[in-house]
């Protein structure tokens, strides 16, 4: 009887260690893919934001237009739109990653 109980405990311990390792591996994959996605989207949106601001601040624009855009808070508008796009892309990527992580069997 003690041998049977010992075998069950050893089997249970092995199963728990495997499950813990599986969860840790999946967590690191999820975090790594999320970080890559966030970094890529952040870099692209920084380039877009700089391009929009450089076009507005170029010498060809009239001061009246620049002042008017400042009064109507155009910079806030651009920031809100880019933040919404970032959120949408991040949520879409996280959805894909979670489907990959939980549907991928070892």
In a domain, 43, yes or no: yes
- CA distances 93 to 35, 56, 63, 81, Å, are 11, 32, 41, 18
Tokens of 31: 């975090």
- Does residue 6 lie within any of the structural domains? no
Q: Does residue 4 sit within a domain?
A: no
pLDDT in tens, the chain (106 residues): 677 777 778 888 888 888 888 888 777 777 776 677 777 778 887 888 788 777 766 655 567 777 787 889 888 888 888 888 888 887 887 777 777 666 765 4
Cβ-contact 86, 41 below 8 angstroms: yes
* Overall number of domains in the chain: 1
Q: Is residue 90 in some structural domain?
A: yes
The domain in which residue 60 lies consists of 24-103
* Domain-located, residue 19: no
Residue 62 in domain:
yes
What does pTM read for this prediction?
0.46
């Amino acid at each position: 009887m003690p041998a049977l109980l010992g075998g069950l405990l050893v089997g249970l311990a092995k199963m728990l260690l495997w499950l813990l390792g599986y969860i840790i591996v999946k967590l690191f994959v999820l975090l790594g893919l999320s970080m890559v996605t966030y970094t890529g989207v952040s870099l692209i949106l920084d380039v877009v934001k700089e391009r929009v601001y450089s076009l507005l601040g170029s010498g060809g624009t009239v001061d009246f237009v620049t002042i008017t855009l400042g009064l109507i808070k155009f910079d806030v508008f651009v920031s809100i739109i880019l933040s919404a796009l970032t959120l949408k892309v991040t949520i879409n990527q996280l959805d894909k990653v979670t489907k990959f992580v939980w549907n991928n069997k070892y």
